[in-house]
Amino acid sequence: MLAPAKASQVSTDMMVSVRDHAGRKSLVIHGGGWLVKRFFFND
């Protein structure tokens, strides 16, 4: 069995980044190193 300690650590390690790819921006939300959500938008 895996130790549940890692799951509690992941919830506190959040990161949000915005990247620009040739005029198309992407909002990326990471949780514990895993890709949670990714949004693409044009402005």
Distance CA 17, CA 23 (A): 16
Q: How many CB atoms lie within 10 A of CB 17?
A: 9
Q: What is the pLDDT of residue 10?
A: 47
Among left, alpha and beta (phi > 0; psi -120 to 50; other), residue 20 is beta
Q: What is the pLDDT of residue 1?
A: 47
Q: What is the pLDDT of residue 8?
A: 47
Q: How many CB atoms lie within 10 A of CB 31?
A: 15
pTM of the prediction?
Answer: 0.33
Q: What is the pLDDT of residue 41?
A: 66
pLDDT, tens digit, 9 for 90 and up, residues 1-43: 454 545 444 444 566 777 777 777 877 777 665 556 666 666 5
> Closest by alpha carbon to 38, among 11, 19, 13, 10?
19
